[in-house]
Chain A
Amino acid sequence: MPVDVLIVDDSAAIRKILHRVLLQAEVPLGKVVEAADGREALRKLQEEKIGLILSDINMPNMDGLQLLSALKAQADLKAVPVVMVTTEGSSSKVMEAVALGAAGYVKKPFTADQIKEKLTGLI
């Protein structure tokens, strides 16, 4: 069954690249929705039935960790898997994301294969 994916990143370039990688990935993909920060992501999640979220950590307004906390506090959203796509390598922020319930993380720069591999286990 196709899964709708939400990409959350303040960089339009990264959203575009991830969108392209998703379209090329051999996974049952539905709609791809984009948001520029955590706040916009929460608004989109009210409108769309999302099955997977790819999110940056460092973003203005509401960052990826705040978004993750907000999702885990909502009964209808806490089961949605969130993969962090971030420049934060092995930093405390990644550890915090995992502790908050992130399904995994991909470090920037990333290859299309790394994204596909991460998605295959989740979709």
Chain B
Amino acid sequence: MRTEITSVQATEILRRATHDVFETMLGVTPEERAGRQENSPPDPAEGVLALIGIAGDWVGTGTISGSAGAARFLAGKFLMQEFAEVDEEVVDAIGELSNMVFGNVKTMLEEQLGPMGLSIPTVICGCNLTTRSVGNHAWTVAAFEVEGHRLELRICFRRRERSSTPDRLAASLPVLG
């Protein structure tokens, strides 16, 4: 087993997982935009943010974020219907899409890092959403555009310190306001 994954490798894993899920379930091909490594919390955003926790010997968080319009578009493609607002169905669809994408990410990471677990996704909608990484770990960001809608996928993970509490799922917390 490897002991680490580089940011470049993490970006490639995020890209492959996103392509697989979007092309299979939504019938759309995401266009890749410049990714990056973030060492400080991202600027506050508004729209929809899905978070999923990584647990096991490696702990962290994956997120998918985009505007309310992007969320309505993705849910519309997923469920083959149009949405005028971000309602319960849109939130559920975004949660399931993030579950599939990060399920794929998990499978690819496990090939190199060993077994991991994923939490059930949490989806937050609103303004001024800030995601902070406890311990200030770097985030790998992969960006996409899908039919005019920008999406960003982030992942932040590290090997769990032996003294850490095993049940501590998420290495980041959403901060509202």
Contact A109–B89 (Cβ < 8 Å):
no
With known contacts A92-B115, A109-B25, A110-B24, A13–B96 Cβ distance under 8 A: yes
Distance A24 CA – B92 CA, assembled complex (angstroms): 23
Question: In the complex, what residue of chain A is closest to B90 when comparing beta carbons?
Answer: A13
With known contacts A11-B99, A87-B100, A87-B103, A17–B79 Cβ distance under 8 A: yes
Contact with B103, one of A11, A88, A92, A111 (Cβ below 8 angstroms): A88
With known contacts A60-B120, A109-B21, A13–B103 Cβ distance under 8 A: no
Of A89, A109, A110, most buried by chain B (CB within 10 Å of CB) is: A109
Distance A20 CA – B110 CA, assembled complex (angstroms): 32
How many residues does chain B have at the interface if contact means C-beta atoms less than 8 Å apart? 25
A10 within 8 A of B: yes
Q: Is the interface of A mostly helix, strand, loop or mixed?
A: loop
- Chain A: number of interface residues, binned into ranges: 20 to 34
Distance A89 CA – B115 CA, assembled complex (angstroms): 12
- How many residue pairs, one in A and one in B, have C-beta atoms under 8 Å apart? 57
Contact with B107, one of A14, A16, A58, A90 (Cβ below 8 angstroms): A90
Contacts of B78 in A (CB 8 A): 13, 17
Question: In the complex, what residue of chain A is closest to B21 when comparing beta carbons?
Answer: A109
Given known contacts A13-B89, A17-B25, A109-B21, what 18 new A-B pairs fall within 8 Å (CB)? A11-B93, A12-B88, A13-B75, A13-B92, A14-B96, A17-B78, A17-B79, A58-B118, A87-B104, A87-B106, A87-B118, A89-B104, A90-B107, A91-B107, A91-B115, A109-B20, A110-B24, A111-B24
- What are 18 A-B interface contacts by the 8 Å CB criterion? A11-B95, A11-B96, A13-B89, A20-B80, A58-B99, A59-B120, A60-B120, A87-B100, A89-B103, A89-B107, A90-B107, A91-B107, A91-B115, A109-B20, A109-B21, A109-B100, A109-B104, A111-B24
> Chain A: residues with CB nearer than 8 A to chain B?
10-14, 16-17, 20, 58-60, 86-92, 108-111
> Chain B: residues with CB nearer than 8 A to chain A?
20-21, 24-25, 75, 78-80, 88-89, 92-93, 95-96, 99-100, 102-104, 106-107, 110, 115, 118, 120
